[in-house]
Copies of this chain bind each other. A is one copy, B any other.
Amino acid sequence: MSLSEFDLIQDYFAGLGGSREDVILGVGDDCALVQVPDGMQLALSIDTLVAGVHFFTDVDPEALGHKALAVNLSDLAAMGASPAWATLALTLPHADSGWLAAFSRGFAELAKRFGVQLIGGDTTRGPLAVTVQIHGLLPSGQGMRRSGARAGDLIYVTGKLGDASLALHHRLQGESWRCVESALRMRLERPEPRVEVGLALREIASAAIDISDGLIADLGHILQASGCGAQIRLDRVPVSEPVRVAVESGAGWELPLSAGDDYELCFTLPPAQRQTVARLSESLGLPITRIGRIETTPGLRCVHANGDLWRPPIPGYEHFRSHDPRNGS
């Protein structure tokens, strides 16, 4: 395929997603031009998904289009920013119009839902990889950072943890997708960015992060940035029924706590704001669960209901990747 055909792909993506009045010039010139409203700051994040590392090479392209945008929207959610514009750098071994149509459908559906307009991009030939940069807006001086947690704050997580990891685990054990519960697969392939939660928390949470590398690692980033420690109660960690069964039948708590890809939010909250979060959870129909408390003593302590300390065998995402064929060579 010639390079000019790749240019046509770019045209294919022009204007994908929502249509926004603050876009002065979208896809098709040397640069896109946008207008940041007065009093607002720009929040931005860039993420790459690589075939064989972050997704299986036989990935459903519609799901990949969704996920490439979702992981970026999740970063905006963790900051409490309103989604605005995206750019897309897509590297493809060859151009397959069916694949491209499905990819752009998945991307566009999520983009429209959150009012995101695709304003620029680059399409190149090479090993399959997708880089998305997302741009969001925040009132000046706001934005939830990782560094604001204080001793006494409560620790919450949205949704349930470990579903994506369990789906991945099944697939890595050689099961075909047909044998993996579709709800679990959805959680791995089509994570739902918690944008509304992030916006609602912006003025009340003291710190926030999205759980892309596992709760232990990501809460660890908050503790490190905030210079404090924490205790969480394992019996309060929200998990689905399949994850509960897996935990009890040998996978252990590292399944929901150390594995990534859930894209839920973890945040800390001054206790006075407790009722606000309870009402938010009810109004969104989404579990938002208090799992622990920020403490002065550095380090993260995970305890069972009886008070016994649980030690994570391996504190992070890597554990689940050491035998992960998606890693490639």
Contacts and interface: CB of A to CB of B under 8 A. Distances in A.
Interface in A102-124: 119-122, 124
Interface string A31-74: 11111101001111111111111100000000000000000000
A72 B328 CA distance: 30
Contacts of A306: none
Interface in A126-176: 126-127, 129, 131, 133, 136, 138, 140, 143, 145-147
Given A126-B50, A316-B4, A317-B3, A87 B44 contact: yes
A25 interface: yes
Interface stretch (A12-20, A76-84, A293-301): A76-84
Nearest to A265: B30
A125 B30 CA distance: 29
A49 B122 CA distance: 10
Contacts of A129: 91, 126-127, 129
A45 B30 contact: yes
B210 A47 contact: no
Interface of A: 2-4, 24-25, 28-36, 38, 41-54, 75-76, 78-79, 81, 87-89, 91, 119-122, 124-127, 129, 131, 133, 136, 138, 140, 143, 145-147, 208-210, 213, 225, 316-318, 321, 327-328
25 contacts: A2-B318, A3-B318, A4-B317, A24-B41, A24-B143, A29-B79, A30-B78, A30-B146, A31-B81, A31-B136, A32-B43, A32-B45, A35-B41, A35-B140, A42-B42, A44-B87, A44-B119, A46-B120, A46-B121, A47-B89, A47-B122, A50-B124, A51-B126, A89-B89, A89-B131
